[in-house]
Amino acid sequence: MTYTGWFIEQFGQGLGWFLANLTLILAIAFPVMVGVAVAVYADRKIWAAMQMRRGPNVVGPFGILQTFADAAKLFLKETIIPTGASTGVFLLAPMISFTLALVVWAVMPFDAGLVLADLNVGLLYIFAVSSMGVYGIIMSGWASNSKYAFLGGLRSAAQMVSYEVSMGFILVAVMMYAQSLNLSDIVMSQKANVLGILNGNIFNPLLFPMAIIFFITALAETNRPPFDLPEAEAELVAGYQVEYSSMSFALFFLGEYANILFMCALIPTLFLGGWLPPLDWAPLYLIPGFVWFLAKMAFMFFVFAWVKATVPRYRYDQLMRLGWKVFLPLSLFWVVVVSGWLMFTGHFAAVPA
Amino acid sequence: MAAFAFYLFSGLLLTSGLMVITAKNPVHSVLWLILAFFNAAGLFILLGAEFLAMLLVIVYVGAVAVLFLFVVMMLDIDFKALKRGTMQNLPLGLAVSGVILAELLLIGTGWQPGQGVIVHEALAGPPVGMSNTQWIGSQLYTRYVFVFSMAGLLLLAAMIGAIVLTHRRRVGIKKQDIAVQNARTPAGTLGIGKAGLGQGVDL
């Protein structure tokens, strides 16, 4: 009997379905939140190690409880709403950011069949939710009634909209190669797809450039360095979140890291073979798929932190040039290349008359 | 369950549509408009058109409304002048909307679909083993390819028009040419000279 089936038998059709999904949602959201706490700690530790510092090392063994201490401190602070702020929008903005960062995990397959909503249009769902993420930022920037926040919000909105375009084209290339928008199907299409032994689109010369561009675009979408202009401590104080304190700031912070973790999970799903081991070799399948997935996620997070520790921030016009004049034509051209290749090798599914 | 979702989505859609035109602050109007788009996407999902729902969210919520919000946020609007304008233009606005309402009512009551216009026979739904999305793609790019290309050309013309109207060549500004910067070599940019005592260098 399935998990949902058991609940329906115990509590009846409507209530059982509701309870089953509620528990499943909590079973995803809670580990994501713990993952965010660990990720913040890991981020600071990796960053510190690359700068030959110690990083957080006071609270708990090796400073591992530092994030929880920070969170507790934030919860105890006073929530301040500026006098000139548009109160409703001001309070709604962090909630939107946080909710969207959690909602997008619904379609992520953690292992074969281990997914909350196995949507047919999973990839489009991810794209839709991530394109809505810009509202939390733009609303907070406007509602704060502050020039710094407003500038930060505008910068961020323009940046996310610009990079979404090339991200969309990369997703189109991946989707055409996998012949599906369903994330589980996309992972399974990567099984032994290169030379019959390597699992993962990134080993495919046709999709390797897309993987690299997608990684850079993901950095820009999540406002990570070198594209962290919306925050730009030096010029905009903290950009759109400058007027936020306490819980509302915590929601932005958690949402931002949840988004980063999601990108660290999406890149393996699209390019590194998801829950599959890197080689299509029977003994490797003895390790559960979930472990492979987490390992790939951790690796991607390390790369994110690595980039943060090593690169300087882009200038805004350079950022726009990279998005519109380099990535957009390149990814558009590559969509044509991939579709042409698929056409000539007869990869496309039969079209009904 | 589905009936509840339908009334929820359509009720919210109508309410937010009403709020779009009654909200005092234009930014709030745009935010209500976004809620309306979102609920329309919910209605599409109830119809089983999940691809259209996602496209609605991506295109309208994710791109069009962001640009709306951008423009409206930057505008400096004088609400008193706006109110005065409303009262002046009210008769004209009422007349135009009255005409449109009358036309809608005429179409809704008098017109029979399929008369005078040759329509394709209704498509029955995706064949077995094909997802909604694949089916839309296979129809759009084969059967309706000309209509589809025409729509694309229309958008292209609009885009070219917008660029032509707003493009201006600014003079007297410094512009960064990254290709030129990257092409610089030590041979072309560096020179080593001897600075004699009290003479400086000749550049």
Check CB contact of B54 with chain A, cutoff 8 Å: yes
Q: Which residues contact A287 (CB under 8 A, 6 or more apart)?
A: A277
pLDDT of A353 reads 42
Main-chain phi, psi angles of A111, to 5 degrees = -160, 175
Q: Which residues of B touch A321 (CB under 8 A)?
A: 178
Asked whether the beta carbons of residue B127 and residue A132 sit closer than 8 angstroms, the reply is no
Closest CA to B38 of B12, B2, B18: B12
DSSP 3-state of A52: coil
The residue among A59, A222, A92, A229 whose CA lies nearest residue A151 is A229
Q: Do A128 and B69 touch (CB under 8 A)?
A: no
Question: What is the CB neighbour count within 10 angstroms for residue A285?
Answer: 13
Interface contact flag, B54 A128, Cβ < 8 Å: yes
Number of inter-chain CB pairs under 8 A, A vs B: 76
Q: Using a pLDDT cut of 70, give the percent of chain A over it.
A: 95
CA A32 to chain centre: 12
Are A252 and A339 in contact by the 8 Å Cβ rule? The answer is no
For B18-48, give the DSSP string: HHHHH-SSHHHHHHHHHHHHHHHHHHHHHTT
Alpha carbon of B190: minimum distance to chain A alpha carbons (Å): 26
**Distance between CA atoms of B191 and B182, rounded to whole angstroms?**
18
Number of H helices, E strands in chain B: 9, 0
DSSP H/E element including A339: helix A328-344
Chain A hits for B32, Cβ within 8 Å: none
Burial A254-277 (b: 16+ CB within 10 A, else e): bbbbbbbbbbbbbbbbbbbbbbbb
* Predicted complex ipTM: 0.83
Nearest chain A residue to B41 by CA distance is: A128
Query: Best interface-test mutation with B: which of A142, A166, A320, A347 has the largest number of B CBs within 10 A?
Result: A142
Question: From the CA of A157, how many Å to the nearest CA of chain B?
Answer: 8
Q: Which of A121, A321, A343 to mutate to test the interface with B (most CBs of B within 10 A)?
A: A121
A177-to-A1, A173, A345 alpha-carbon distances in Å: 35, 6, 12
Give the Cβ contact number of residue A300 at 10 Å: 22
Contact B66 A157 (CB under 8 A): yes
User: Measuring CA to CA, which residue among A79, A98, A90, A88 is closest to residue A145?
Assistant: A90
The identity of residue B6, as a single letter, is: F
Q: What is the pLDDT along chain A (353 residues), one digit of tens a residue?
A: 577 778 888 887 778 888 888 998 999 999 999 999 999 999 999 999 999 998 888 888 888 899 889 889 988 988 888 888 888 889 899 999 999 999 999 999 998 888 888 888 889 999 999 888 888 888 888 888 888 888 888 888 888 888 988 999 999 999 888 888 889 989 988 888 878 888 888 888 888 999 999 999 999 988 888 888 777 666 666 677 888 888 888 898 899 999 999 999 999 999 998 888 888 888 888 888 899 999 999 999 999 999 988 988 888 888 888 999 999 999 999 999 998 888 888 776 555 44
> What residues in A contact B123, CB-CB < 8 Å?
none
Cα–Cα distance between A144 and A150 in angstroms, integer?
8
In the predicted model, residues of chain B with pLDDT beneath 50 are none
Identify the three-state secondary structure at position A126: helix
Q: Distance between CA B97 and CA B99 in Å, rounded?
A: 5
CB contact under 8 A, B130 and A14: no
- Contact list in B for residue A150 (CB cut-off 8 A) is 73
Using a CB-CB cut-off of 8 Å, the residues of chain A touching B51 are 121, 124
Q: Which of A124, A154, A317 sits opposite B54 (nearest CB)?
A: A124
How high is the pLDDT of residue B120? 55
pLDDT in the model for residue A302: 94
Any CB–CB contact under 8 A between B159 and chain A?
A: no
pLDDT for A278 equals 87
Position of tokens 């496209």?
B55
Cα(A163)–Cα(B122) distance, integer angstroms: 39
Block residue for tokens 């500038």: A151
Give a three-class secondary structure readout of B126-183: CCCCCCHHHHHHHHHCCCCHHHHHHHHHHHHHHHHHHHHHHCCCCCCCCCCCHHHHHH
Chain A residues whose C-beta is within 8 A of a chain B C-beta are: 14, 86, 89, 119-121, 124-125, 127-128, 131-132, 134-135, 138-139, 142, 150, 154, 157-158, 161, 164, 168, 180-181, 317, 321, 349, 351-352
- Per DSSP, the three-state class of A108 is coil
- Tell me if the bond preceding B91 is cis, omega within 30° of 0: no
Number of H helices, E strands in chain A: 13, 0
A173/A338 Cα distance (integer angstroms): 6
Tokens coding A5: 């089936």
